[in-house]
Amino acid sequence: MKPLAALPAEEARKLRGLLFDLDDTVLSHGVLTRAAYDALWDLKGAGLVLVAVTGRPSGWGEVIARQWPIDAAITENGAVLVHREGMAIARVEACDATERRSRRIRLAQLVETVREIVPEARLTDDVDARVSDITWDIGERVRLPDERIELIAEAIRAARARTTRSSVHIHATFDADDKATGTMRYLVSRGEDAGAARSRFAFVGDSPNDAACFAAFTTTFGVANIERHVERITVAPRYITPSTMGAGFAEIARALLELRATSAVASRE
């Protein structure tokens, strides 16, 4: 990983938008700081497309799509898109209602299995706002040792479900999407060319479930706290910030805006 200061101005200038994780990336220990929120408004004011790409539930996506200066939220690790349609909020899923009910029943059965294997495991406090997955708390309110987390992961895989892990949760789902496929489907739906989008949109993240986007996009950033997860990330980001969490996100925004301004001045001279 290169330091953020190594980002070339030309690379920053070519970007049409910024995709970003929430927990421990824009949010700092679950809190949206003023610096991070101001950074979002500054990026939006500069004309960049902003898309949250998160493991958090679609219920959260509906709130931030209404209240934040963003164009859309890719939620539940890529399974559910939330975006504005005029004054309304639309939710888009890749499967129909019948298949969704079937998957929800299988997830409920998996919850009971995990309860027998790891009885101290607790579902996350946002689980009722989810439609495509189930999540257990491993680092938000509850701290589970790695060996107990691995037992949960083994139970998920044994049920033929997919599992991903963020800095705070472990997820189980029967949906096929990850953050990269869900994001790319949204970008193509708004007229972006799939190949060009890989270099025209940058991604910011901090944890293993961001690896798909680190692999899919050319310009990728990790906030400094990613260093504690690097050994579990299959593809690391290209650049890393000096600061952690929301402060690191604000540093990325500042660097992008300064480099883009420098490039604009140079092109006029």
Does residue 212 contact residue 232 with C-beta atoms inside 8 Å?
no
Whether residues 185 and 247 share a domain: the answer is yes
Q: Is 142 helix (H, G, I), strand (E, B) or coil?
A: coil
Q: Report pLDDT for 269.
A: 47
Whether residues 162 and 34 share a domain: the answer is no
Q: How confident is the model over 242-260, as pLDDT tens digits? A: 999 999 999 999 999 999 9
Q: How confident is the model over 15-59, as pLDDT tens digits? A: 999 999 999 999 999 999 999 999 999 999 999 999 999 999 999
Q: Which domain range does residue 193 map to?
A: 2-94+177-268
Banded model confidence at residue 148, pLDDT cuts 50, 70, 90: very high
Q: Are strands 49-53 and 31-32 parallel, antiparallel or unpaired?
A: unpaired
Whether residues 46 and 109 share a domain: the answer is no
What separation in angstroms does the CA of 85 have from each of 45, 90, 205, 246? 20, 6, 27, 29
Whether residues 85 and 8 share a domain: the answer is yes
Q: What is the pTM of this model?
A: 0.92
- Across the chain, mean pLDDT equals 95
Cα-Cα-Cα-Cα torsion 84, 90, 91, 94, nearest 10 degrees, comes to -100
Helix, strand, coil: what percent of the chain each, to 5? 50, 20, 30
Structural domains in the chain (count): 2
Q: How confident is the model over 98-143, as pLDDT tens digits? A: 999 999 999 999 999 999 999 999 999 999 999 999 999 999 998 9
Please identify, among 173, 207, 229, the residue that sits at the C-terminal boundary of a domain. Answer: 173
Please identify, among 151, 173, 195, the residue that sits at the C-terminal boundary of a domain. Answer: 173
Residue-wise burial string across 88-97, b where 16 or more C-beta atoms lie within 10 A, e elsewhere:
eeebebbbee
